[in-house]
Every structure is written in structure tokens, then in C-alpha cells.
Chains A and B, each alone.
Chain A
Amino acid sequence: MEKKLKFLIANCCQIEPSDVGDDAGVNATPNWDSFGHLQIMVCVEQEFGVVLDTKTIAQLTSYKDIIRYLKATRKKNGK
């Protein structure tokens, strides 16, 4: 999951996956601005099969936030 998310962030931000560290996030990572953020969210929904509500989209502004959210969702769904 971590690797896939980094791959996805890298492609949305047009950087190398190796440049996406655990501290990646809005304003810390090149091109992860408000527009880039929405692009990442579109791909997260598609690739991880989740539907994010508006507030969640606004809150998941870093790599760690997204991972935490995805893990919690997975647990809730009993996987």
C-alpha cells in the first residue's frame, strides 16, 4: 500500500517515487498544491477503491494522513 501510494503521488506531482518521503504533503512536496492535491485524491479513490467525502479530501493533506486513513478504512471493512 505504501509503495503504491508513493508511486501515485509521484506521478501526480511529476517527481520520482524515490523523492516521495514519509513527510510528503501539501506545500512540502513539489506540485502538491491545492490543485495537485485534488489530482492525488482522484487517483487515491480510483486505485484504493474508496470514496472520500469532501471534508476528508480537505483533511488528507499529507502522505501519512492518507496512509492512516486507508489503513483505518481497511480495518473497518475487516480486511
Chain B
Amino acid sequence: MKEIADKFIALAANKKKNEEARSFFLKEIEGEYNPLLWKCYISHMTEKRDRFKKKERIALLGSSNITPVKNMLRSVFDANKISTDYFVGEYGNYLQELMLDGSKLYSFNPTMTIILLSLPDIMPSVYEYPFSHNKKSVDDLLAKLSRDLRTALGKYSSALAKNTTYVAIVPSYEEPCNYVYSPGSSFKSDNYLMKLQDAVESLEKEKNNIVMMNGRRCVSKHPARRIEDKRYWYLGRIRYTDLFFSEVAKELMGLYRIINTPSKKCLILDLDNTLWGGVIGQDGFENIELGQDGIGRAYQDFQREALKLHKKGIILAICSKNNESDAMEFFKTHTEMILKPEHFAAKRINWSDKASNIKDIAREINIGLDSVVFFDDDPAERKWVRDSLPQVTVPEPPQDQFLYAEFLKNSEWFKSYKLSEEDLSRNITYEAIARTKGLKSSSSNEGAFLKSLAQSLTIERVDASTVSRAVQLCQKTNQFNLTTRRYQLADIKDVMSYKLNHVYTIRAKDCFCDYGIVGVLILKGQASDRSLTIDTFLLSCRIIGRKIENVLLDWVKSKAKAEGYARLYGVYSKTEKNAVCANIYKDSGFTVVYRRGRDIKYECSLDKRLGLYPFGKFVKVELKKSRDGKKT
């Protein structure tokens, strides 16, 4: 153990090697617990006060003495280049600290609050005098504790909006009734733990700055005697060993990273020796390792992990050096494949270099290279991609291919704290897009393609149930957004207050799926010169390139003409990202009125015959009356 500490100190002593010292420490603490190494980190690294840009003010509240966790947290945060300041609350006093506005805790003004609770501390009477209790008294006590905890946490999290509170209830090895093997559910530590965790979790759903930490993960890797130590309890009211506190620090750091770093969005996979064992071009299909038993099972498990990620909303893609027809044939004919072609939003199966292919894939599915993870068994390919595209994450997989699935499962890149509805539905859309792309190449002409898609659009006047989605689209749509006006809720309401103005949402559907609301259209009428202006026109990038935009503009033209307007105006304001819609007005028969800076104003006269998009008839457009019954 001292040898490791010595090695660390040598790195820490050399300022040029501090970066190396940090990663050495982070790697070592994943292995066998080494108390000396932790102490060395504090005395050789954090004392240098390399102040980092990123800072956290951390308050520690425990039901017993949790001071040892302070230096350990300081070390792991420092190793991740985050400076930290601490407030350690008086132990056992956490409820009062949380409830009293004027407490030292509030004046410390933390950005992170960590609350570590132990069952024997918070319900001492049950643990000390279990035979004076019965089911009802235990239930009453748990109900009161839950209430108190919820009240205190609720108040605290509302008062300190910038603070995130991490709550952990530590599973107890100690049982209230040790002398009875089966004392009934009222006397089991695990039941208390579950009830109290439920109370915090229900609050966590309401407040976004409360995080429930999994206390079990801090104790489950070690036997009881290495977690609880009565000697320190009697000498210093410290219930747990340093080993336990080091686990807490690591767990918290992991959770902190999950919460504070955006998860990767896309996993690009190689095929040969990654999804299956062997090379299909050389070994022949019958010799490929993939199946229920033996070695093949390891590859199947890896595919299962990738499929789980797909279902969680991670986009999958293929980048492989192969003949595309061979690879696709294998996908189609091999019965043991878990992943199917439709699980991949993009495929680059060819002989060009992988870096260009990856760049292409990212462009195709509209994501940044920094949200891509590329998984390949071949070290040369990994190096090539790493060197040419440093933004892409290229993991170093384990030597042993049997461990690929475990490696993926335990990796950090795709973890998120909660699962959102959007995550779950994302890939349904991407699958549909992938299928429409298949159609596009198989349909020989545009009209046939559009006909086979069977798209239908529903235009609806915005109402209370859809306005928040409209605002969200205004805020986030970058690519197909002609004017990029970032309207807030109040702005939309303002626009709607004038009777010649209309705010519409657009829903899209095709033969594959219902995309939900994918666009916003804001029209402003002017009675004086009988003109209608397209103030905002935006569409989600998921459905660009299927002529919906042309059909919608035609709908606006026809509607304006029918309502007696003489001309239609539209503006294209150029931004860094909206080149995709630069020509939409020109293509739709508008003429330029003027160019001013980034803006081009277009006009379309409605007096003459309207030039409509020829294949528009293949897209169904329906204007739905709003729910409140007003005419739109």
C-alpha cells in the first residue's frame, strides 16, 4: 500500500505530472482500498490550492459524525478538477439546520448539500428498546419521520434554489431485534429504509433539486465488518469505517457527473469482432460466432446491451469496413442477431476511412461529434478516429472480448439520472426516419416517394394544452427556423391578443409513426395594406426533407388568398445554423423585396394564380378547430 502512495507522491511532487497524478489516483481508488493513498492526496495535492474554475460549496449533514467523508470528497472533486469548500453540520442536528432560515447552514449558502442518515440514529428508540414497540408504534414513528423529512427538505430546497441536495439513507446491518430470527416486518431495517426512501423519492419528483442517492451501493461491495466499526463509534461517534466513506465519496462523484454532464447521444458500432465473432468477408457466415451458447453468447449479450441503450433513447449507428450487401445479408439471414437493421439510424458500411464516415453519420442524424461514442475492437481504427476526430469519445475496450457487454454496461457515457418520455420515444422517430430513407432510395421519383409515405399534417390553433410545446420549439429549433425568434410564453400570448394574428402548431404523421407537434407557424395580418406576414415558421429537424415545408407554405398561400389578402410576406434571417431553409421562399415562388444585413424579405402576390408544389396532393393537410370552439 505504501508503494502505491510513494508512486503517487513522486507524481504529485512534479508539477508537470500533476495531471498524471490525478488520473493515477482516480484509477487506484477503483481498486483495493488504500487509506494512505487518500491521505497522501490531501496532503500533496489539495494543499497546493490549485484553484480550479469550477467550484462547489458543499454542506455535509449527518445523523452521526460523518467528518471523514470531507477529505475524501475534497480529493475526488480535486482529482476531477473541481475546487470545494465545506460546511460540516453538527451531527444529529440536520432537521433543525434545514428548517431554520438563520442557521449556519443557510449562511454558508451551499451549492451542494449532502445528507447521510443512519437508521439507528434517526429511530433510536426502536433500536434501543425494540420490545417497547409494536407494529402501530413503529408505523407511526416512520410516518412522523417521513413527514418531518419531507417538510424540512421541501422548505430547504425551495429556499436555496441553486443548491442540489443529495440524500442517502444508509442500509443498516444492525437489526432492532437481534435475538429473534424472524421478528416480523415491523422490526426489519430494510423495511424502514424502503419507507423513508419512498418519502424522499416522492419529494424528488416535485423538486428538481433533490437527488436520492442509493445508499446501498456504498455498502453492498463489502462485508459488514468492513463497513461498520464500533471502535470509532465509541471514540468519535463515527458509525462507519473510512472504507465506507471512500465509497460514499466515489458514489457521489459518479452521481454528480451523471447529473452535471450531458449523456452521449449516439453509439457508433463496428461489425466484425464487435457485434459478432469473426470476419464475415473471410470466415463465411457459418463460422461466425454468435448465438445462445458458448462464445457466441458474449456477442449476443453485447448486442443486448446496445439494444437496451437504443430503447433508452441512445441512437445507434454502424460504421464498418465491409461490403454493405454482405453485412446486410448477414443481418437478414442470421437468426441469432439481436440487433436488426431498423435499430440503426444510420449506416456506413463501405471501405472509406472511418473518421469521414463518422463525420457523415453525425451530420446525417444532426448531432455534434462530441455526443458520439465510437466502439471498435481494432486498435488501429480507434487510433485513427481518435487522432482525426478528437471530439469523438473512443473507449479502450477490454482485452477480453467476453467482457465487452460488461464494459458497456458499466460505462458512464450513456447514464442519466432519470428517464424522460422524450428519451423513450426518440428512437421511434429515428427508426421511422431510417425507414423513410430506405423508401427514398427505393422509390424512383419524388411523387412516388411522397405517396408511399402517406404523410398527413394537422394544423391547429395554439391553445392552453399546446402552447408550452410551441414555446419549447421556438426556444430550441435551430435548423429549419426562418426567423429564429425565441418567443417566451408571454410573447406568444401577446401575439395572439391581436385578432388578425394567428399562432398554429403543426402535427405530422406518416405511415410509420406519429411525430406529434413538430412545427410552429405564426402569421400576422395587416388590414391597411391587405398583407399577411409569416412571422415565424419552424419545423423540427426530424422531419425536414420530406416536402412538408412546401406543402405548408402552399397552405398559407391558399388560406391568405381565401381570406382576401393581396400579398404574403416572409423573412429569412440567416443564422449560423439555418442554411437548410435558406431557399424555401425562392423555391416556393416568392420574390425578393429587399436584403438588409442578415435578413432577406420576400413577397408573394396573391392576386394571380398561385404556383403550388406539384406533389402537394400526396400530403394530406387538415385544419383542426381548436378545442375551445373558436373559429381559427
Contacts of A1-52 to chain B: CB distance below 8 A: 4, 7-8, 10-15, 34-35, 38-39, 42-43, 46-47, 52
Cβ of A38 and Cβ of B36 under 8 Å apart? Answer: no
Q: Is A54 an interface residue (CB 8 A)?
A: yes
Cβ of B36 and Cβ of A46 under 8 Å apart? Answer: yes
Cβ of B231 and Cβ of A47 under 8 Å apart? Answer: no
15 contacts between A and B (CB under 8 A): A11-B5, A11-B40, A11-B43, A13-B43, A34-B235, A35-B236, A38-B232, A39-B35, A43-B36, A43-B39, A46-B1, A52-B231, A53-B231, A54-B234, A57-B231
Given A39-B68, A58-B235, 17 more pairs with CB closer than 8 A: A4-B2, A11-B42, A13-B43, A14-B42, A35-B67, A38-B235, A39-B242, A42-B35, A42-B241, A46-B34, A53-B231, A54-B230, A54-B231, A54-B234, A54-B235, A57-B231, A57-B235
Q: Which of chain B's residues have a CB closer than 8 A to the CB of A35?
A: 67-68, 236
Q: Which of chain A's residues have a CB closer than 8 A to the CB of B40?
A: 11
Contacts of B1-32 to chain A: CB distance below 8 A: 1-2, 5
User: Residue among A46, A52, A57 with the most chain B CB within 10 A?
Assistant: A46
Contacts of B227-259 to chain A: CB distance below 8 A: 230-232, 234-236, 238, 241-242
What is the interface size of chain B, counting residues whose CB is below 8 A from a CB of the partner?
23
Cβ of B39 and Cβ of A39 under 8 Å apart? Answer: yes
- Per-residue A-contact encoding for B59-82, CB less than 8 Å = 1, 0 else: 000000001100000000000000
- Considering the complex of A and B, which 8 residue pairs feature the smallest CB-CB distances, nearest first? A14-B43, A11-B39, A54-B231, A11-B43, A11-B40, A42-B35, A12-B39, A42-B242
For A4, the closest partner residue in chain B by CB is B2
- Are A47 and B2 also in contact (CB < 8 A) when A14-B42, A42-B242 are? yes
Q: In the complex, what's the smallest C-beta–C-beta distance from A1 to chain B, in angstroms?
A: 12
Q: Is B47 an interface residue (CB 8 A)?
A: yes
Cβ of A38 and Cβ of B35 under 8 Å apart? Answer: no
User: Residue among A4, A13, A35, A42 with the most chain B CB within 10 A?
Assistant: A42
Q: Which of chain A's residues have a CB closer than 8 A to the CB of B238?
A: 38
Q: In the complex, what's the smallest C-beta–C-beta distance from B431 to chain A, in angstroms?
A: 54
Q: In the complex, what's the smallest C-beta–C-beta distance from B413 to chain A, in angstroms?
A: 34
Q: Which of chain A's residues have a CB closer than 8 A to the CB of B47?
A: 14
Q: Which of chain B's residues have a CB closer than 8 A to the CB of A58?
A: 235
For B230, the closest partner residue in chain A by CB is A54
In the complex, A43→B242 CA distance in Å?
A: 10
Q: In the complex, what's the smallest C-beta–C-beta distance from A51 to chain B, in angstroms?
A: 10
Q: In the complex, what's the smallest C-beta–C-beta distance from B31 to chain A, in angstroms?
A: 14
Q: Which residues of A contact B (CB under 8 A)?
A: 4, 7-8, 10-15, 34-35, 38-39, 42-43, 46-47, 52-54, 57-58
- Per-residue A-contact encoding for B198-223, CB less than 8 Å = 1, 0 else: 00000000000000000000000000
Q: Which of chain A's residues have a CB closer than 8 A to the CB of B241?
A: 42
Q: Which of chain B's residues have a CB closer than 8 A to the CB of A12?
A: 39, 43
User: Residue among A14, A34, A52 with the most chain B CB within 10 A?
Assistant: A14
For B40, the closest partner residue in chain A by CB is A11
In the complex, A42→B246 CA distance in Å?
A: 13
Contacts of B534-575 to chain A: CB distance below 8 A: none
Cβ of B36 and Cβ of A34 under 8 Å apart? Answer: no
- Are A8 and B36 also in contact (CB < 8 A) when A38-B235, A39-B68, A53-B231 are? yes
In the complex, A4→B42 CA distance in Å?
A: 18
For B233, the closest partner residue in chain A by CB is A54
Q: Which of chain B's residues have a CB closer than 8 A to the CB of A57?
A: 231, 235
For B243, the closest partner residue in chain A by CB is A42
- Per-residue A-contact encoding for B486-528, CB less than 8 Å = 1, 0 else: 0000000000000000000000000000000000000000000
User: Residue among A10, A13, A38, A47 with the most chain B CB within 10 A?
Assistant: A38
For A58, the closest partner residue in chain B by CB is B235
In the complex, A43→B68 CA distance in Å?
A: 13
Q: Which of chain A's residues have a CB closer than 8 A to the CB of B230?
A: 54
Q: Which of chain A's residues have a CB closer than 8 A to the CB of B236?
A: 34-35, 38
In the complex, A14→B242 CA distance in Å?
A: 17
Q: Which of chain B's residues have a CB closer than 8 A to the CB of A47?
A: 1-2, 36
Q: Which of chain B's residues have a CB closer than 8 A to the CB of A53?
A: 231
Q: Which of chain A's residues have a CB closer than 8 A to the CB of B231?
A: 52-54, 57
- Are A11 and B36 also in contact (CB < 8 A) when A4-B2, A47-B1 are? yes
- Per-residue A-contact encoding for B40-65, CB less than 8 Å = 1, 0 else: 10111001000000000000000000
For B242, the closest partner residue in chain A by CB is A42
Q: Which of chain B's residues have a CB closer than 8 A to the CB of A52?
A: 231
Q: Which of chain B's residues have a CB closer than 8 A to the CB of A43?
A: 35-36, 39
For B44, the closest partner residue in chain A by CB is A11
Q: In the complex, what's the smallest C-beta–C-beta distance from A52 to chain B, in angstroms?
A: 8
Q: Which of chain A's residues have a CB closer than 8 A to the CB of B242?
A: 39, 42
- Are A46 and B235 also in contact (CB < 8 A) when A14-B43, A14-B47 are? no
User: Residue among A11, A43, A54 with the most chain B CB within 10 A?
Assistant: A11
In the complex, A46→B234 CA distance in Å?
A: 20
Q: Which of chain B's residues have a CB closer than 8 A to the CB of A13?
A: 43
Q: Which of chain A's residues have a CB closer than 8 A to the CB of B67?
A: 35
Cβ of A10 and Cβ of B232 under 8 Å apart? Answer: no
In the complex, A75→B34 CA distance in Å?
A: 26
For B5, the closest partner residue in chain A by CB is A11
In the complex, A78→B189 CA distance in Å?
A: 45
In the complex, A13→B44 CA distance in Å?
A: 11
Q: Which of chain B's residues have a CB closer than 8 A to the CB of A15?
A: 43
In the complex, A7→B43 CA distance in Å?
A: 11
In the complex, A36→B267 CA distance in Å?
A: 47
Q: Which of chain B's residues have a CB closer than 8 A to the CB of A38?
A: 68, 232, 235-236, 238
In the complex, A47→B1 CA distance in Å?
A: 7
Q: In the complex, what's the smallest C-beta–C-beta distance from B297 to chain A, in angstroms?
A: 41
Q: In the complex, what's the smallest C-beta–C-beta distance from A33 to chain B, in angstroms?
A: 11
For A52, the closest partner residue in chain B by CB is B231
For A56, the closest partner residue in chain B by CB is B231
For B39, the closest partner residue in chain A by CB is A11
In the complex, A58→B232 CA distance in Å?
A: 10
In the complex, A77→B172 CA distance in Å?
A: 36
Q: In the complex, what's the smallest C-beta–C-beta distance from A7 to chain B, in angstroms?
A: 8
In the complex, A41→B5 CA distance in Å?
A: 17
In the complex, A34→B68 CA distance in Å?
A: 12
Q: Which of chain A's residues have a CB closer than 8 A to the CB of B42?
A: 11, 14
Q: Which of chain B's residues have a CB closer than 8 A to the CB of A8?
A: 36, 39
In the complex, A57→B233 CA distance in Å?
A: 12
